[in-house]
Amino acid sequence: MFMNKDKKEKVIALRKSGKTYSEIMKIIPVAKSTISVWLKDVGISKSQKQAFTEKKRLGSLKGGLARRNQRINIYNKIVGEAELEIGKMTKRELWLIGTALYWAEGTKEKEGAPGTGIVFSNSDDKMIRLFLKWLIEVVGISKEQIKCEIYIHDNHKDNVSHFQKFWSEKTGFPLNHFDKVYFKKNKIKTIRKNTGDLYFGLLRVRVYASSSINRKVVGWTKGINKYWGIV
């Protein structure tokens, strides 16, 4: 009884000094429910209430940051392990990857409009670079056959050289490959994440006189589907 009375007095003193429940429990080994009962009639000043609110806010931020860092660490671990699983790849894998990329993102020849060449569009510079590697190293297209068209929103008209320089650096193609720039009408509201400094528009890779290659890609795609029984 006397021990509890002594603890209660210490708890009250700590509370009046501005300690939170969590801080008190670290000093006095008492259950939170017990502390709550002991402090039921203990008043605190307005400044102490404000201090408790601020401590709670900072604690929440600290907890949120800890959870965020934990998610980042988990992400990095999973991505790092998965990256190692890929191992060595041959030119055959590049051939199949490029075929699948074009199947997903490339322009297809329509029955009513024969003669469509190779046209591939994307805003992901890594995907563009992989596709160019496929074109040059697997399909056998020369850089001279490739033209690149930049599509940006019209509120970036005054900064065209910025986009041309970005895509030139990413692809390794000279600036004269990016002389065609097209402007898209800008939407007032957007949910896109790649805005501001992260926005570099969309690049359209076009290969001239390549309708026969497009048809080959169709055949390769059909071959993949047939192998896996997708008909």
pLDDT tens-digit series, residues 146-188: 999 999 999 998 999 999 999 999 999 999 999 999 998 866 4
151: part of which helix (H) or strand (E)? strand 146-153
Q: DSSP letters along 122-170, please?
A: ES-HHHHHHHHHIIIIII---GGGEEEEEEEEGGGGGGHHHHHHHHHHH
The tally of CA atoms less than 13 A away on the side-chain side of residue 150 is 27
Q: What is the pTM of this model?
A: 0.71
Question: In whole angstroms, what is the distance from residue 89 CA to residue 98 CA?
Answer: 13
Q: Can you say whether residue 201 is alpha, beta or left, with left for phi > 0 and alpha for psi between -120 and 50 degrees? A: left
Q: For residue 111, name the pLDDT band (cuts at 50, 70, 90).
A: low
Using the predicted structure, report yes or no on whether residue 3 has a pLDDT greater than 70: no
Strands 146-153 and 180-184: parallel
pLDDT for the residue numbered 113: 64
